[in-house]
């Protein structure tokens, strides 16, 4: 009995399967299947549903390629198609039916929204009956007829410019030449032209071939390869190559070249990796994008939004009808607080060095200059750089591509004003506290082994805070840090902004005190008191920290945008030091320059009350290491109080140490 029941069940199941297999597809199902494939841009599946007549008119490869080229060309995104079926079912007995559909798509010319009719025809063979799509070009756009082509014209948005506080252009729109090819003008052996082009431009031939074979390229189109300046001497040679021509084009120009390179950064053509990430934002192959600096930071604001025009031409290239048009939206112009003249003065002092500098207005927080040296000419990246030029730049031991104002360095003695303020506010010392040390080296006790804190000058008397600041006495500040204690010292440094990101439009590395949450030992705490140990500080943070001594102990927020500056002074760290403490430290910084024995005495200028602090940071890996030294100087005119300049120069050993930097900063204030 059980076997009979199983046999019956199997027969019934087979019958149902056969019935299902023989069930004729309805027009609604056929239309839905085609539209579903269309929504997913599965052009091969769409082609399978075409009628025999349609397949005779267009082969599969052409069908797929045509859709892909048109959709790539119009920058299609968010394609949405849905059928509008009537309430009553479509007849399965007719030979043909029409299904209305609604289509929405985002394109370079804006959103397109229209309805059209999908014609289905019944086709019968011995094996099957099916509803097939009677395809014609009007299904892509209703305005299209056989022989027509879709043309797309990009209406490029102007990239916003970057200007300084006085309207001087730092990154502006100028003119250059797009060197390119027109495929139909190339010789039969295209490679011959590509080889000549590659040799003159010093570009990989594969790159030229890739651009030639891009999906959007038509034979009569101009295909840009690279951009050169209008006065480039290679132009005559290039124009002798068959198929090569040029178009005058808008180009990004950096008038101050190396002076502002790390600040502005540069733009270049988008690469494959960036395109993958940004395709949803409307970017496509060949677009220009900010690669570094403010060009990258403010890409969304600067880039604007391209407009476009989509239109139909007949088989002779005559325009028949415009489908859609959207005007471009130009990018924003970004005005900085930077003063190009001051930027240039500072760069001129650093251009033959490895170093960095920041200038900040101590009463507003406005950043007036940001310099990194050595530098590079960002115009080279825009207007074409040969492989050898790139190799030279990339392998330069001076690392001209390294942005030094965005990274951190050991600050050395320029941190001593902070240590002094923290120790005073913690009541670890007072203004008259003295430490009496004989000689040039000191250690807390024998547990330090053979490690000693050293100093340059022995005053031959007990040292108070004023004397220690004037002579830049490492031993005093090491002892001050120890008396303050680990907890209060770290809390004090945190009040000055250590351990957190500087609130600044340009990304700056965090300053740090230790690798861990606490010091490894007493020696590390002592060394941190005079800017060695594990202490790391950015030049922007350093200049900002000194604003506390001119603002009742408040550290000002560094400001880079003019629109932000118009809101007025903004405090980043409130009460980093008590007001009386800040005022006292400021007085000591004046003494560092004006006292005859002050380490900053070389910065004295007639008619100015210069104040500042010198620093020399040793880059030792071991205590016996004969390491390089970085020199630092932070200075301002205490009467004028309109700019703080913080400067670091690498490898000043045997060149006068921090005094070498003092002379450079003095020149800046002298101009």
Cα–Cα distances in angstroms (integers) from residue 65 to residues 37, 194, 309, 421, 600, in the given order: 16, 25, 21, 72, 72
Nearest Cα residue to 664 out of 602, 597, 585? 602
Joined together, the tokens standing for residue 269 give: 């053509």
Helix axes 658-670, 340-350, angle to 10 degrees: 150
Q: Is 91 a catalytic residue?
A: no
Joined together, the tokens standing for residue 114 give: 């229209």
Which residue in 413, 528, 544, 658 is the catalytic one? 413
Q: Is the peptide bond before 22 cis (omega within 30 degrees of 0)?
A: no
> How far is residue 577's CA from residue 159's CA, in Å, rounded to a whole number?
44
Nearest Cα residue to 107 out of 265, 295, 311? 311
Helix axes 486-495, 416-425, angle to 10 degrees: 120
> How far is residue 193's CA from residue 10's CA, in Å, rounded to a whole number?
70
Q: What is the sign, positive or negative, of the torsion defined by CA atoms of 545, 548, 551, 556?
A: positive
Strand partners, 336: 561
Joined together, the tokens standing for residue 102 give: 């609604």
> How far is residue 249's CA from residue 266's CA, in Å, rounded to a whole number?
17
What is Dmax (Cα atoms) for the chain? 119
> How far is residue 210's CA from residue 225's CA, in Å, rounded to a whole number?
10
Cα–Cα distances in angstroms (integers) from residue 220 to residues 210, 217, 426, in the given order: 17, 8, 77
Cα–Cα distances in angstroms (integers) from residue 144 to residues 232, 244, 312, 313, in the given order: 44, 33, 7, 9
Could you give the residue numbers annotated as active site? 413
């Amino acid at each position: 009995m059980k076997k009979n029941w199983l046999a019956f069940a199997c027969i019934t199941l087979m019958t149902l399967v056969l019935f299902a297999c023989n069930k004729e597809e309805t027009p609604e199902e056929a239309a839905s299947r085609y539209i579903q494939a269309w929504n997913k841009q599965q052009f091969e599946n769409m082609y399978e549903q075409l009628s025999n007549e349609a397949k005779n008119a267009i082969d599969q490869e052409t069908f797929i390629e045509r859709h892909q080229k048109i959709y790539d060309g119009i920058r299609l995104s968010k394609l949405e198609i849905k059928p509008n079926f009537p309430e009553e079912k479509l007849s399965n007995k007719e030979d043909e039916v029409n299904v209305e559909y609604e289509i929405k798509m985002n394109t370079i010319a804006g959103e397109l929204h229209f309805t059209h009719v999908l014609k289905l025809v019944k086709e019968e063979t011995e094996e099957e009956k099916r509803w097939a799509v009677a395809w014609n070009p009007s299904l892509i756009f209703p305005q299209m007829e056989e022989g027509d082509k879709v043309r797309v014209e990009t209406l490029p948005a102007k990239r916003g410019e970057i200007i300084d506080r006085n309207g001087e252009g730092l990154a502006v729109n100028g003119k250059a030449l797009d060197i390119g090819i027109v495929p139909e003008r190339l010789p039969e052996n295209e490679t011959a032209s590509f080889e000549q082009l590659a040799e003159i431009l010093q570009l990989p031939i594969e790159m030229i071939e890739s651009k030639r074979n891009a999906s959007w390229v038509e034979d009569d189109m101009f295909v840009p390869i690279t951009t050169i300046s209008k006065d480039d001497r290679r132009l005559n040679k290039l124009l002798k190559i068959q198929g090569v021509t040029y178009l005058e084009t808008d180009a990004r120009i950096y008038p101050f070249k190396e002076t502002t390179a790390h600040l502005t950064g540069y733009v270049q053509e988008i690469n494959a990796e960036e395109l993958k990430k940004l395709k949803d934002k409307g970017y496509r192959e060949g677009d220009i994008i900010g690669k570094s600096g403010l060009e990258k930071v403010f890409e969304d604001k600067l880039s604007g939004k391209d407009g476009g025009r989509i239109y139909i031409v007949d088989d002779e290239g005559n325009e028949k009808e415009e489908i859609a048009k959207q005007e471009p939206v130009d990018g924003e112009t970004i005005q900085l607080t930077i003063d190009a003249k001051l930027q240039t003065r500072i760069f001129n002092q650093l251009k033959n060095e490895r170093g960095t500098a920041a200038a900040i207005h101590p009463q507003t927080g406005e950043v007036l200059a940001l310099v990194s040296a050595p530098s590079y000419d960002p115009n080279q990246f825009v207007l074409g750089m040969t492989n050898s030029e790139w190799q030279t730049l990339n392998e330069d031991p001076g690392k001209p591509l390294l942005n030094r104002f965005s990274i951190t360095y050991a600050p050395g003695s320029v941190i001593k004003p902070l240590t002094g303020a923290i120790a005073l506010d913690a009541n670890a010392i007072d203004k008259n506290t003295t430490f009496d040390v004989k000689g040039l080296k000191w250690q807390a006790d024998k547990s330090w082994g053979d490690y000693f804190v050293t100093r340059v000058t022995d005053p031959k008397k007990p040292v108070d805070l004023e004397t220690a600041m004037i002579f830049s006495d490492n031993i005093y500040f090491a002892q001050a840090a120890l008396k303050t204690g680990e907890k209060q010292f770290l809390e004090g440094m945190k009040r000055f902004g250590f351990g957190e990101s500087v609130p600044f439009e340009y990304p700056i590395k965090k300053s740090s005190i230790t690798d861990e949450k606490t010091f490894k030992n007493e020696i590390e705490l002592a060394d941190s008191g005079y800017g060695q140990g594990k202490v790391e500080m950015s030049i922007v943070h350093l200049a900002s920290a000194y604003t506390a001594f001119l603002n009742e102990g408040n550290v000002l927020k560094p400001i880079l945008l003019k629109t932000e500056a118009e809101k007025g002074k903004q405090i980043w760290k409130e009460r980093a030091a008590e007001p009386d403490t800040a005022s006292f430290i400021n007085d000591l910084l004046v003494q560092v320059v004006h006292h005859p024995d002050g380490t900053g005495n070389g910065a004295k200028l007639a008619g100015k009350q210069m104040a500042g602090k010198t620093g020399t940071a040793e880059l030792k890996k071991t205590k016996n290491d004969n390491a390089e030294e970085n020199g630092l100087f932070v200075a301002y005119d205490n009467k004028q109080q309109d700019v703080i300049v913080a400067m670091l120069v690498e490898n000043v050993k045997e060149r006068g140490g921090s005094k070498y930097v003092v002379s450079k900063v003095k020149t800046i204030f002298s101009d």
